[in-house]
Amino acid sequence: MKKLNILIVEDSMITVKKMKKMIEDMGHTVVGYANCGEEAIGAFMNLKPDIITMDITLPGMDGVTCLKEIMERDPKALVIMVTSHGQEQSVVESVEAGAKGYILKPINEDMLKNQIEESYIRYGEDNG
Amino acid sequence: MENKILSERNLTSTDEYTVNLSNAVANRAVDYLLNEAGINLINYNNHETYMVEDIRLDYLTSIIAVEDKMKFTLAFSFEKELIEKIFVEYSKGIEIEKEEVSSYIEETAGDMINVVMGNVLKGFSEKGKFIHISVPIIVNEAKSIYKYKNSKFFKNKIKTEWGLLIIYCITPGEKAILQMKGKE
């Protein structure tokens, strides 16, 4: 597995730190994080990560809207939604808008690894 | 086992929904404390939701507003030792600077209510319907709030080896957060 560059979009810094540690333990790199949708779009355009993990509940622009904005700019963007919610409708809309998977909170390292790596293998630049 | 509150009062369908939701939230919170934070309970009586006249916020309280079939506000009020212990467990393995600790304790309380509520709503929401959940807000002082107009307060108490977690579900949801923050 190629070492992936990952952007975390999440408004809780403690969750960012936890996810960063998990991702680095997997051998990948966290190239940046954003704590709101507006910041995430700028970070995506600047950093061009291989994968974005996107929290659904964000202050201001929510994660689903942010996903749509990113997909408009780059239809090949690989975004995985992160939600604590049984917000099935948000997940359905996210997948329809181009999200490649979702992770339920509380985040489990194995689950995160599977989603990141399977999404990249299936939809990443070599296969997408 | 019948809900204690149901045997004592005539409840509207909205009240019944709230009681069932409150019980589910309390059960999931217990599960979270045991499995995510390794915290044992001293006393937790399943299906025991009370309707109360006032709310007493403790050391730190996380609050979210939810709009599903109805609007309501949910609050988790933690005793100091309990939220500090949850934070210690939640932040295991990551480096946190001394000056960051208090804000990360607040985030821990916000993350917990978000995860618990989100997980519970999976079983409560209507298929195909959007659920709106606010980002958590934190009130970090003890204070009392009294009922006003048509609001109703539902309370669950979870006693752990590290202190109390009190869960409040407030209906209707409008204005409850502002009221708790002391803006009205």
Q: Which residue of B has its CA nearest to A21?
A: B94
CB contact at 8 A, A80 and A36: no
Q: Which of residues 81-110 of B touch A (CB under 8 A)?
A: 90-91, 93-96, 100, 103-104, 107-108, 110
Range of lowest pLDDT (A93-107, B39-53, B65-79, B94-108): B39-53
Considering CB atoms only, which of A17, A59, A87 is closest to B135? A59
Cβ-based neighbour number of residue A13 at 10 Å:
15
3-class DSSP assignment, residue A98 = coil
Q: Which of residues 42-81 of A touch B (CB under 8 A)?
A: 57-59
Is there a cis peptide before residue A106, judged by omega within 30 degrees of 0? yes
Q: Is B102 exposed, middle or buried (0-12, 13-18, 19+ CB in 10 A)?
A: exposed
A with B: how many residue pairs have Cβ under 8 Å apart? Answer: 82
Considering CB atoms only, which of B90, B117, B125 is closest to A14? B90
pLDDT per residue as tens digits for the range B8-67: 556 777 788 888 888 889 999 999 999 999 998 886 665 577 788 888 888 999 999 888
- Position A110 scores a pLDDT of 94
In this prediction, what percent of chain B has a pLDDT beyond 90? 44
- Position B118 scores a pLDDT of 85
B104 and A14 within 8 Å at the Cβ level: the answer is yes
Q: What residues of A are in contact with residue B115 (Cβ under 8 Å)?
A: 84, 105-106
- Position A46 scores a pLDDT of 96
pTM of the predicted protein model: 0.87
Considering CB atoms only, which of B32, B121, B127 is closest to A85? B121
| CA B89 to centroid of chain Cα atoms | 19
Q: Which long-range contacts (CB under 8 A, 24 or more apart) does A38-44 make?
A: A40/A7, A40/A9, A40/A66, A40/A70, A41/A66, A41/A69, A41/A70, A41/A73, A43/A7, A43/A9, A44/A7, A44/A70, A44/A73, A44/A74, A44/A77
Residue A80 in this model has a pLDDT that exceeds 70: yes
Which of A16, A19, A84, A103 is the best substitution to test chain B (most B C-beta atoms within 10 A)?
Answer: A84
pLDDT per residue as tens digits for the range B108-133: 999 999 999 988 887 776 666 667 78
Q: Which residue of B has its CA nearest to A60?
A: B135
In this prediction, what percent of chain B has a pLDDT beyond 70? 80
* Ordered DSSP codes for A1-68: -PPPEEEEE-S-HHHHHHHHHHHHHTT-EEEEEESSHHHHHHHHHHH--SEEEEESS-SSS-HHHHHH
- Position B1 scores a pLDDT of 39
